Amino acid sequence: MVCGPRTIDEEAGEELVSIKLLKTQLRCAICYEILNDPYTVKSCLHSFCNRCITNQVRNLGMCPSCRMPIGSKRLLRASKNVDQIIKLLLDDINLYNEVHAKKREEKLGKLFDINQFRREIKQQLQR
Ligand SMILES: [Zn+2]
Ligand SMILES: [Zn+2]
C-alpha cells in the first residue's frame, strides 16, 4: 500500500467518498477529532485517543460508546495499524486537495483548451 509512486487519476473522485466515510469512522467519540495516538478497547473494539480514553477509564471506568466496563488500562491496546492508516489517509487527502486546488485554479484562470487537455492526459498516461 505504501510502496511505489502514488498516482492520482480521475477515479480519485470516487475514492473520495470512502475517504470521507473513513474520516468519520476514524473520529474519536470523546473529542470528535481524528484519533490521536489511537487506543482500542479489547472487549468492544471501540477506538479513542490515548489521552481521551485514559481519562474515561480513570473517571468513569467504562467505554463511552457502548458503556462496556473497563476496569483498567490493561483492557486497552495501542492501535498502531489504525495510527498508520490515519497518517497515510491524511497524506493522501492533503495530496488530493493540493492537486485539485491547482486544477481548479487552472480552470478558472483560462478558458478550456482541448489540445492542452489532450497533452495533459497523454503525459499522465506516459507516467
Ligand atoms: Zn479523543
Ligand atoms: Zn465500546
Query: Considering every ligand atom, which ligand is closest to the CA of 56?
Result: 1
Query: Considering every ligand atom, which ligand is closest to the CA of 30?
Result: 1
> What's the pLDDT score for residue 1?
46
Which residue ranges form the domains of the chain, and what is each CATH number?
30-126 (3.30.40.10)
Residue 73 reports pLDDT greater than 50: yes
Task: State the chain's mean pLDDT as an integer.
Answer: 80
Cα 54 to averaged position of ligand 1 atoms, centre (Å): 10
CA atoms within 13 A on the CB side of 105: 6
- Rounded to 5 degrees, φ, ψ at 62 are -155, 165
